[in-house]
Amino acid sequence: MSIWIYRLVRWLFAVLFLYAGVSKLVDRQSFAIVIDAFGLVPESWVMTIAVILPTVEVIAAIGLILDVRGSLTIIAGLTAIFMIILSYGIWMGLDIDCGCFGPGDPEAEAFSGLRKALFRDMVMLLGITYLYFWRFKRSVLPVPFGPILTNHMVLRKESK
């Protein structure tokens, strides 16, 4: 269980979620249309979720890059939520884009896109499980957020 494999998997997740979050933030309006197509949230909340969800993805991705405590848990939680939403879409027979990596062409993705996305999320869950298992086996804890913030504040004061 090499630390390099752990780092590689962690960075792959970070890059994946960073890309997904940024691409959704760039075109929030189109992402809001995808969210609305699932029909799970009131219309008045759609734009708020279209901003908050990708922002959380970006923050968690940066946290994962820095190996900050809690970021892997957020990534795991987001993945679980996405799997539930995708399962709902498949169950309801929705013929829509999954919206996973920002707004795509709903016509090109269609219904099979939800199944592929769900399978991809299941594979991602294996990677998340590996990261947790590696940490447990090595008794490694990620860096708490507090010291990162404190060190940043100290560096800012020293540079003035």
CA distances from 21 to 25, 75, 134, 147 (A): 6, 12, 26, 26
pTM listed for this prediction: 0.79
| CA–CA dist 124, 25 (Å, integer) | 22
Express as a percent the part of the chain with pLDDT over 90: 55
pLDDT at 54: 95
Instruction: Look at 18-32, 68-82, 106-120, 146-160 and tell me which has the smallest mean pLDDT.
Output: 146-160
Between 62 and 108, name the one with better pLDDT: 62
Closest C-alpha to 122, from 75, 65, 83, 67: 83
Dump pLDDT digits (tens) for 75-98.
999 999 999 999 999 998 887 877
| CA–CA dist 60, 46 (Å, integer) | 21
pLDDT at 130: 94
Dump pLDDT digits (tens) for 99-148.
787 665 444 444 457 888 899 999 999 999 999 998 888 776 676 766 55
Residue 73 has pLDDT above 90, yes or no: yes
Averaged confidence pLDDT in the chain: 83
Report domain extents, the chain: 3-159
